[in-house]
Structure 1
Amino acid sequence: MTTEQKHSSYLSEAENRLRQLSSERLRVAVAFLAYLQETAENQVSEELLSIPGFAASFRKIENSKEKLGDTTSNVTAEDDEVWQAYLASEKKWQEVYRRLSDS
């Protein structure tokens, strides 16, 4: 059984079991699931923060985002610049290939 199939099987079993619970027990189950999710998220956050320099780099990036505001137009401009540079490079290489084939 693949990982995806196992995941689907677990979800189906969980759904079947949850449907059989009373409202009070369902509330407890939801609270427990929220606890598990929060614990996992906190663990990931702690692991990231334990990486030397990660917190400072993250703050620097967040501050840069705030200063730039909406960067959608900046990204589009950068993409266009990259594309134009690529096309210019291709044109130069085509000229080199043409000269080599002519010689």
Structure 2
Amino acid sequence: MKIQTTKITLPPIGLDTQIQDAIEGENEETKLAVQDKKEKVKINLNRIVSINNSPVRECWIKEENLHYYMANGKGVEYYFPIKYASIGIDIDSGPTITCL
């Protein structure tokens, strides 16, 4: 028996223009993309399963950062900017079981 879930990944935004954005400011397209990503994170906060390909649990947003605990961690709080994080979201309300 194999349990399948549907997972989407919200990719990082602006990694290739990080220095330019710091000097000149973000362009309008980047600002809109970041705002859209933040909204998706807020809507799916309880479905986030990984950040930068590491399993996580108990995520919450503080300012521009996504705070979380590592899934196998010892209660240490971590955070990462939402803009630059690769965020894995399990979009299924429950797993689908497939018999092999």
TM range (shorter): under 0.3
* Relative contact order higher in (CA < 8 Å, ≥ 6 apart): 2
When normalised by structure 1's length, the TM-score is 0.25
User: When you count strand as a share of all residues, which structure comes out higher?
Assistant: 2
User: When you count helix as a share of all residues, which structure comes out higher?
Assistant: 1
> If you compute each CA radius of gyration, which structure gives the higher value, 1 or 2?
1
When normalised by structure 2's length, the TM-score is 0.26
